[in-house]
Structure 1
Amino acid sequence: MTFRTLPKVELHLHIEGAAPPRLIADLAKQKSVDIAGVFDERGNYAFRDFLHFLKVYEAATQVLQTPEDYRRLTLAVLEESASHGVVYTEAFLSPDFCGGGDVSAWREYLHAMREAADQAERDIGITLRGIVTCVRHFGPEQAKRSARCAAETADDWLCGFGMGGDENAGEQGDFAYAFDMAREAGLRLTTHAGEWRGPEEVRAAVRDLKVERIGHGVRVIEDPALCEELAEAGVVLEVCPGSNVVLGVYPKLAAHPIEKLRERGLQVTVSTDDPPFFHTDMTKEYEGLARVFEWNEDDFMALNQTALAAAFCDDATRKRIAKKLETA
């Protein structure tokens, strides 16, 4: 099996976190922005641990200052994803980095990203849909501003709302107002949980925010009863094995619970999270799962069918992507 060319669906990708280091370095030079400490001597992103990763991530976004920067970024990210067989991807887009939560500014950034997405779909056949994402450690009030941006621009393209950032900042329920606002606008919901905090964090996310997908969620494996509850409810996990290993959630891929989660009946998908930060891509993710857990063609076909069923896109888009997966 050639993993690189296998058609794939990815549901958990941060647009800034997928920025090629060269693009960020070039923009910094053009704009005379000092981003010392962002890269190592080989030009790769450099960080020590998760909290330092967040600081480096936010430092790198300093050079993304205009809608045109985000147009370039989106096109570069989609070109890289498509080169690894991704035919459909959902990316987290944060108004905090695109206009500071101002709706008018956000519309301009969103227009630029959609232009790039249209170009990529036309030229290289990859489909992008957007999920507005608030940043947990920026606090609940800022999250409300992000949710307002999402609600004002919700449509078939901007189809979801979620939350990333430091899982140890506050509680899931602190952000219920923002999630309620997004839900009322017709957006579907996901949130990061169960990566750094334990199973109770996932339980709180489902209970307090009423999400249908969980970003990461891997630590639910520590609570068999919760695994059963999530499996029965059909909650989908956006699992990012490479990210979990690099950040030290698990010491190596062989220790990762993705196979045990599947055995418990949970619906799992596979994504790259912030691929250049974690030295991964969808090809490497698939190769690792095949090597370590002996996943075969049927496993990967089922994986992508699960991801497509869980995608937040409209039915017409889902049917179109399903045809691309059938070619596998």
Structure 2
Amino acid sequence: MPKVELHLHLEGAAPPAFIRGLAKERGIDISGIFDAAGNYRYDGFGEFLKVYEAATEPLRSPQDYYRLTRAVLAESAAHGVIYSETFLSPDFCGGADLAAWKEYLHAMQEAAAEAEAADGIILRGIVTCIRHFGPDRARAVARCAAETAGDWITGFGIAGDELAGKPADFAWSFDMAREAGLRLTAHAGEWQGPDGIRDALRDLRVERIGHGVRAIEDLALVDELAENGVVLEVCPGSNVALGVCRDWRAHPIGRLFDRGVKVTVSTDDPPFFHTTMSHEFDRLAETFDWDAGVFATLNRTAAEAAFCDEETRARVLKQLETA
């Protein structure tokens, strides 16, 4: 089945073998972030963030990001993804320096264009500030986003440690992105409860929420999300792997869907959580007895919520309908 993915961190999608090889080329020793089988090794969300950032160390040039983008898109296309949006952090691409960011961006766009020609997968970028890096750093990232907004950089968001600061601390950056014409999303409702989602909607005025699964703890909020058409970028495998949810059966995506919330399915940081889009669809089908009609609804919801131009959206929707 063709698939649409809205929540994918580019560095977090890097295959471990790719990062190990690049580290060897650079003479960097990050062997401690891998287990005996060569997979990423971490225990809990805090250590996950540290391992994630350590894995970005070998990525030091635009050419590295060109290679990374090709590798990630080849993996996504192999699992039926026809349209993807990826979170890009200028913090990791030249230290949020605008001139350097433009060079990295050009390399990623070149790789994306080649992947689209070769595999038919369309990619768009969402510039993302890192919450635990603080509001000042976020302003520099927002400037990078505003200066490169267009047909390919189409969104702005925030990721990182939800427990660091408050959404209101980043309002200036989101205002700048909004004025540049970028669409807005924010990670919320993963580690904080329903109030974190409310804060992001009120203070950042986003139209999509990354994760958002803890909304289920407040059914009034769930109904509000459904009524207002707020789209959730749900990553079930990530939530289970990190312990946000006890297991697949306990995951609230089924209850959210049944109450009319616009949910979508993504992988977040797939190699960290030993998942793919195919795996996510398979586990959801097994767990909730969802048929092809439900997955068609999820894909259409994702396509309609995508941060792309209407011509691209029409292309994606046509592919979904044809399939």
DSSP 3-state at the match of 2:25:
helix
Q: Residue 83 in 1 paired to residue 78 in 2?
A: yes
DSSP 3-state at the match of 1:196:
coil
Alignment partner, residue 134 of structure 2: 139
How far apart are 1:326 and its partner, in Å? 1.6
Q: Structure 2 matches for 1:101-180, cutoff 5 A? A: 101-180=96-175
Alignment partner, residue 94 of structure 1: 89
1:227 pairs, out of 218, 222, 243, with 222
DSSP 3-state at the match of 1:133:
strand
How far apart are 1:38 and its partner, in Å? 1.1
DSSP 3-state at the match of 2:55:
helix
Partner Cα distance (2:32, 2:187) in 1: 27
1:15 pairs, out of 4, 10, 14, with 10
DSSP 3-state at the match of 1:11:
strand
DSSP 3-state at the match of 1:175:
helix
Deviations 1:249-283 (A, max 9, x none): 01100000000001111100000000000000000
Partner Cα distance (1:84, 1:226) in 2: 34
Q: Which runs of 5+ in 1 are unaligned?
A: 1-5
1:181 pairs, out of 168, 176, 179, with 176
How far apart are 1:229 and its partner, in Å? 1.2
Deviations 1:226-265 (A, max 9, x none): 1111111111000000000000001100000000001111
Partner Cα distance (1:180, 1:203) in 2: 17
Deviations 1:94-120 (A, max 9, x none): 000001110000000000000000000
Amino acid at match of 2:171: A
DSSP 3-state at the match of 1:62:
coil
Deviations 1:201-234 (A, max 9, x none): 0000000000000000000011111111111111
1:287 pairs, out of 282, 285, 292, with 282
DSSP 3-state at the match of 2:232:
strand
DSSP 3-state at the match of 1:226:
helix
Partner Cα distance (1:234, 1:37) in 2: 43
Alignment partner, residue 298 of structure 1: 293
How far apart are 1:156 and its partner, in Å? 1.2
Partner Cα distance (2:219, 2:246) in 1: 22
DSSP 3-state at the match of 2:49:
helix
Alignment partner, residue 35 of structure 1: 30
* TM-score relative to the length of structure 1: 0.98
Alignment partner, residue 310 of structure 1: 305
Alignment partner, residue 46 of structure 1: 41
Amino acid at match of 2:167: Q
Deviations 1:56-112 (A, max 9, x none): 000000000000000000000000000000000000000000011100000000000
Q: Residue 65 in 1 paired to residue 60 in 2?
A: yes
Partner Cα distance (2:264, 2:224) in 1: 18
Amino acid at match of 1:293: F
Q: Which runs of 5+ in 2 are unaligned?
A: none
Alignment partner, residue 3 of structure 1: none
Partner Cα distance (2:16, 2:248) in 1: 25
Amino acid at match of 2:17: R
Partner Cα distance (2:172, 2:30) in 1: 35
Alignment partner, residue 55 of structure 1: 50
Amino acid at match of 1:137: H
Alignment partner, residue 327 of structure 1: 322
Amino acid at match of 2:114: Q
Runs (4+) of structure 1 exceeding 3 A deviation are none
* TM-score relative to the length of structure 2: 0.99
Partner Cα distance (1:260, 1:322) in 2: 26
Amino acid at match of 2:315: R
Alignment partner, residue 256 of structure 2: 261
Partner Cα distance (1:322, 1:193) in 2: 28
Identity %: 66
Partner Cα distance (1:248, 1:230) in 2: 24
Aligned length: 323
Alignment partner, residue 196 of structure 1: 191
DSSP 3-state at the match of 1:129:
strand
Partner Cα distance (1:112, 1:152) in 2: 17
Partner Cα distance (1:148, 1:232) in 2: 33
